[in-house]
Amino acid sequence: MLRLDITWLSGTARLARAPSDPEADWPPQPDRIYSALVASWGLGGEDVHERAALEWLEGLSPPCLADVAITGQRQTVTVYVPPNDARGETVLPERRRRQPRTFPSVTLDADAPVHLALSWDAVPSPEHRRALDKLAQRTSYVGHSASFVLMRFTETEAPPDNWQPVRRAPYQGRLSELEGLYHRHLRGEIDARPRPSSHSGRAKPVKEYTRPFPADPNSWIVFEHAVGERPDLRSTAIVADHMRLALMEGWTRTNGRPAPGWIAGHEKDGSPARDAHLAVVPLANVGWQHSNGQLMGLALVPPREQVEEWNQPGPDPYERHDEFRRAVASLGEKDIDGRMKFTLAPQQGRGNWSWKLAPASGGTHSLDPYRYLRNSRRWASVTPVVLDRHPKAKGNARADEIEEILRASCARAGLPGPNKIHIGKHASHRGVPPARPQSGAPPWAGWSRKQSFGARPVYHVRLAFDEPVAGPIFLGAGRFVGLGLFLPQPEVNT
């Protein structure tokens, strides 16, 4: 079991239920502790690994709670303080209004090593555990800013003896909800403040669907820019084709036979592969305030069925996995710095870039698979979606047909039916080029496409679901060559 121990270092916990409530909020409920961890995540730079750990934590069943007996409930004294929004003449000290405030608190047993414990019936992955430990170390107070705490995660065999049911617990989507409220408050919506959770029952899990690609960052093989002239994000399909060809050649060299259909994308007779096959995904600097759309690297994402086969016990699955690893390793040779590097270059007549890549060394957020694997109700395309077929309708009926095509694409991707679909020319994420170039723009300003796509239109797409959906999401005819790649959007409460 995962356990979180909390100690109030001063022996006093200042916790108000509401501004007008004279009673202290003891014991503090799990949603309050979760909000403190979320605040530490925000102040710490919104690390993607820490976010993934928080989303994992909110998806668990509510924890059990145990607290020490409080020594006493301090008498709550009403004091009158000036408001923060004083304007005009009221700024002058002698003319400022006063508002009543209370600071309820409880006195705790100073000798107790732990004042509050939360226990979840789950064990985190090593990655989540490391992220949770960092969050706990940075969380300095719970409640009033003077309520200094020491937090530490541990793992135990059983819950505390004096456990009690909880009244308020986080739930799936709580982090996105808090994030949306925060951004609304920054835009000037004074009332956009979080309300206490009313959730006390079993956490509602994210519904599982049969997905063609695994939601596991460890199955992504990520390469980063090493040197050379990196291609434009709009050339994603061409770059992905060259990456696939290089991997197929590496497979043949190391394994002595042609690459299987799940890598090549076609069957032995040359027909398109019927099942999901390897996706080559562009990883770009997009989605942040100052993003420029620069292509930072590429990722190889094997299909789910292949990953599940590799994870089976026995020598045969290991050998099949090793065949793939050998093919990847054959892409290049170790450089003077000891890192394997390889070069992607176009065929003659298809451009003049020569891009050298190396296995990612970590630390660059744009290259982190977690960005694309989070749970969210709202998703928007980073690379435009190539429709699976050409719409035939005209006029107003055309939009309905395009939506029908996209819903069918969602079903093929193992997604639930979205409640809203929005299509357009422009992307929702910063740094992403439009789906179609401006009139008179040079040819390179348009997104590259494979010949097999023909003249099918491309659109940037936004999807909204009733329940949180886990990534990755690749949609449309170009989903195996980096087109139709989606990134979660922050939840916005209205």
Cis peptide before 63 (omega within 30 of 0): no
Q: Is residue 196 domain-resident?
A: no
Q: The tokens of 219 are what?
A: 């199955």
Same domain, 32 and 168: yes
Domain termination site, one of 165, 186, 207: 186
**pLDDT recorded at residue 450:** 82
User: Is residue 433 pLDDT above 80, yes or no?
Assistant: yes
Same domain, 296 and 403: yes
Mean pLDDT of 167-180: 83
Same domain, 256 and 351: yes
Domain termination site, one of 186, 202, 230: 186
In tens, the pLDDT along 35-70 reads 999 999 999 988 889 999 999 999 888 888 888 766
Task: Find the range with the poorest average confidence among 41-50, 149-158, 333-342, 433-442.
Answer: 333-342
Highest mean pLDDT: which of 106-110, 130-134, 328-332?
130-134
Same domain, 234 and 152: no
Mean pLDDT of the chain: 83
Query: Domain span at residue 46?
Result: 2-76+105-186
Q: How sure is the predictor about 202, in pLDDT bands with cuts at 50, 70 and 90?
A: very low
Same domain, 453 and 388: yes
Q: Is residue 120 domain-resident?
A: yes
CB atoms within 10 A of CB 116: 24
* Residues 421, 427, 428, 430, Cα dihedral to 10°: 170
Q: Is residue 200 domain-resident?
A: no
Given CA atoms 311, 474, 283, 490 in this order, what sign does their dihedral have? negative
Buried b (16+ CB within 10 A) or exposed e, 284-300: bbbbeeeeebebbbbbb
Mean pLDDT of 357-375: 86
pTM above 0.75, yes or no: no
Mean pLDDT of 271-281: 83
User: Is residue 441 pLDDT above 90, yes or no?
Assistant: no
Same domain, 148 and 222: no
CA–CA gap between residue 373 and residue 387 (Å, rounded):
23
Q: Is residue 92 domain-resident?
A: no
Task: Find the range with the poorest average confidence among 3-7, 241-245, 273-277.
Answer: 273-277
| 3 state SS of 110 | coil
Please list, in sequence order, all residues whose beta carbon lies within 8 angstroms of the beta carbon of residue 197, skipping any fewer than 6 positions away: 29, 31, 168, 169, 170, 171, 174
Mean pLDDT of 270-294: 86
Q: How sure is the predictor about 184, in pLDDT bands with cuts at 50, 70 and 90?
A: confident
Mean pLDDT of 386-403: 89
Q: Is residue 203 domain-resident?
A: no
Mean pLDDT of 200-221: 68
Q: Is residue 210 domain-resident?
A: no
Task: Find the range with the poorest average confidence among 55-69, 337-351, 396-410, 477-491.
Answer: 337-351
Same domain, 405 and 346: yes
Bridge partners for 297 per DSSP: 224, 283
Q: Is residue 54 domain-resident?
A: yes
Same domain, 165 and 231: no
Given CA atoms 370, 224, 284, 344 in this order, what sign does their dihedral have? negative
* Residues 270, 273, 274, 275, Cα dihedral to 10°: 160
Same domain, 154 and 252: no
CA–CA gap between residue 169 and residue 115 (Å, rounded):
19
Q: Is residue 98 domain-resident?
A: no
User: Is residue 27 pLDDT above 60, yes or no?
Assistant: yes
Phi-psi region of 350 (alpha: psi -120 to 50; beta: other; left: phi over 0): alpha
Highest mean pLDDT: which of 43-57, 99-113, 150-164, 338-352?
43-57
Same domain, 174 and 254: no
What is the residue type of 330? S
Mean pLDDT of 170-183: 82
The domain tally of the chain equals 2
Task: Find the range with the poorest average confidence among 87-96, 126-135, 274-283.
Answer: 87-96
Highest mean pLDDT: which of 173-177, 297-301, 314-318?
297-301
Output the domain CATH number for residue 181.
3.30.70
Domain termination site, one of 137, 166, 186: 186
User: Is residue 352 pLDDT above 70, yes or no?
Assistant: no
Mean pLDDT of 443-452: 81
Q: How sure is the predictor about 138, in pLDDT bands with cuts at 50, 70 and 90?
A: very high
Same domain, 361 and 224: yes
In tens, the pLDDT along 411-432 reads 889 998 999 999 999 999 999 9
Asked if 56 contacts 124 with a C-beta cutoff of 8 angstroms, the reply is: yes
Determine what percent of the chain is predicted with pLDDT higher than 90. Answer: 37
In order, the DSSP letters of 263-313 are HHSB-TTSPBPSS---EEEEEES-SSTT----EEEEEEE--HHHHHHHTSS
Buried b (16+ CB within 10 A) or exposed e, 26-65: bbbbbbbbbbbbbbbbeeeeebbbbbbbbbbbbbbebbbb
Task: Find the range with the poorest average confidence among 92-106, 394-408, 449-463.
Answer: 92-106
Crossing angle for the helix pair 126-138 and 30-43, to the nearest 10 degrees: 90
Phi-psi region of 4 (alpha: psi -120 to 50; beta: other; left: phi over 0): beta
Same domain, 223 and 140: no
User: Is residue 20 pLDDT above 90, yes or no?
Assistant: no
Mean pLDDT of 282-295: 91
Query: Comparing C-alpha atoms, which of 179, 160, 208 is closest to residue 59?
Result: 208
